[in-house]
Amino acid sequence: MKNALFDLDGTLVHTLPDLTRALNLTRGEYGLAPITEQDVRLCIGNGVRRLVERAIPELPDSIDALLERQLFHYAAHSLDASVPYPGIPDLLRRLRDAGWKTAVVTNKAAAATRQLLDGLGISPLLDAIVGGGETTALKPDPEPLLLAAQRMGVTLDESDWMIGDHYTDLRAARLCGIQGCFCTYGYGQARGEPYACAIRSVAELDTLLLG
């Protein structure tokens, strides 16, 4: 049996417009000017608290209140414009048909993760979902990947994959002893973290996993 763990934002789903909308609604409540999608892209990758800290640096003493408002606004807008990257639902179906087990392992808050995956119809295509806050540490710590494996009922080994667009995914893969696949079409950076391969599109990912 083969196993594939996927990051969410910038890997399975294009979420940048809705993340930006929610952040600008939060910024607006505090009288701050809006920021661009490119600004937000640079803030993604280490969970929602770090997202807010990076995207609203003007108010470092108000992070808890800002985080509450960001979660509120994102819950209201997470499905406005977010869409799976072309080919993702079909790839997940074909992996299942080929006997693979699949999971999402993301630093996005668990409730937001479930809302997004349920709303896009992706949840039924997965064997496990692990979101931020379900383990004591976020990626790049391997703990979320190990929880996903437990929920999948598998033991991860060097034939398995962690697929993501950020160094956090690649480092977590290395620490788990599995292969890392870097999605260059996403939002993040490898930051010198080694990986087994890099792919530029979902079509290339399809070829990598299914031949």
Q: How confident is the model at residue 17 (pLDDT cuts 50, 70, 90)?
A: very high
pLDDT of residue 12 exceeding 90, the answer is yes
Handedness of CA 128, 145, 111, 114 (dihedral sign): negative
Angle CA(184)–CA(129)–CA(76) in degrees, nearest 5? 80
Among all residues, which ones are annotated catalytic?
A: 7
- Percent of the chain's residues with pLDDT above 90: 99
For residue 61, pLDDT over 90 is answered with yes
Q: Give residue 1's pLDDT band: very low, low, confident or very high (50, 70, 90).
A: confident
For residues 11 and 163, the answer to whether their CB atoms sit within 8 Å is yes
Whole-number Å distance between alpha carbons of 120 and 162: 21
Cα separation of 196 and 29, whole Å? 44
Average pLDDT in the chain: 97
Q: What is the mean pLDDT of residues 32-58?
A: 96
DSSP state of 8: S
Average pLDDT over residues 19-46: 97
Neighbour count for residue 83 (Cβ, 10 Å): 13
Classify residue 131 as left (phi > 0), alpha (psi -120 to 50) or beta. beta
The strand pairing partners of 180, in sequence order, are 162
Average pLDDT over residues 173-188: 98
The reported pTM is 0.97
Percent of the chain with pLDDT over 70: 100
What are the distances in angstroms from CA 205 to CA 60, 69, 88, 89, 200? 39, 36, 10, 13, 8
Query: How do residues 90-120 score in pLDDT, each as one tens digit?
Result: 999 999 999 999 999 999 999 999 999 999 9
Cα separation, 144 vs 176, whole angstroms: 10
Task: Report the alpha-carbon distance of residue 112 to residue 12 in Å, rounded.
Answer: 15
The full set of domains in the chain, from first to last, is: 3-14+83-210 (3.40.50.1000), 16-77 (1.10.150)
Q: What is the pLDDT of residue 15?
A: 98
129-162 per-position pLDDT tens digit: 999 999 999 999 999 999 999 999 999 999 999 9
Using alpha carbons only, give the angle 8, 14, 20 rounded to the nearest 5 degrees. Answer: 105
